[in-house]
Structure 1
């Protein structure tokens, strides 16, 4: 069947749409989902989007020295307000899966152009984080972090 000028075959578009939908619906492996969440958190810090960082933490989050989610919110907001430019480079992330929970360990090289957040403008933080599945997402429910001086 010949097409007239301006007529487009729908079939190739349906094939492409079908491939995109199947890829979007495919479930990401758990370890990759956790790594993606950590990467998204780093990008959110660099973009000064505190809400996006906090969306990764559960309501019952606990961090260093008993810092809860509200305390984490205060820390993140205060640091983002004072820093002009923050850079975060995540190193290799190891993930240990334990059913609906996981432990992720990684280092983050952090730079702060203002010198307010990080006194010497650069540091490496070592993280050990606990994650659990909530619905289809993985969220951080605990975290321990230390720097090279601790």
Structure 2
């Protein structure tokens, strides 16, 4: 169960990094807006709003996590951590037609909201996105702890 919680935090970081890396117009701006909304949703403890940006056919953690499991994982993180902090490194975004790939390094920390976090780790995250009309949806994500 701890591994699943960690995986959910990693996915969140990867998505947030993608938002900060989008600097070109059009599709990248739509990706940025979606990821900013996801970031706001987690900060405001609304995992249901976050999951709205995740595709129905989402798979993560090498196929062991579907959309419903990710939603449950995020709800668990919100309940477990009064505060979740995310620090993102530079992101690499590649858009190819109706698909996008985002690679990023993210540092996640959580805890009761005190001055020092109680838990934290650094992850390398790669997420895949699909354009659905004018919106982007995350369809897959893989992550590995790097520190």
- CA change 1:81–1:50 in 2 (3 A) is same
Greater Cα shift, 133-142 or 29-38: 29-38
Q: Are 1:87 and 2:89 an aligned pair?
A: no
Q: Which runs of 4+ in 1 moved over 6 A?
A: none
User: What's the TM-score once normalised by structure 1's chain length?
Assistant: 0.70
Q: Are 1:144 and 2:131 an aligned pair?
A: no
Alignment correspondent of 1:130 = 128
> Larger RCO: Structure 1 or Structure 2 (Cα < 8 Å, ≥ 6 residues apart)?
2
Alignment correspondent of 2:54 = 57
User: What's the TM-score once normalised by structure 2's chain length?
Assistant: 0.72
| Unmatched runs of 5 consecutive residues or more in structure 2 | 1-24
- CA change 1:39–1:107 in 2 (3 A) is farther
2:29 aligns to what SS in structure 1?
helix
Structure ID, larger Rg: 1
The structure that is strand-richer by fraction is 2
Q: How many residues are aligned here?
A: 119
1:71 and 1:92 mapped to 2: Cα distance?
28
The CA RMSD over aligned residues, in Å, is: 2.0
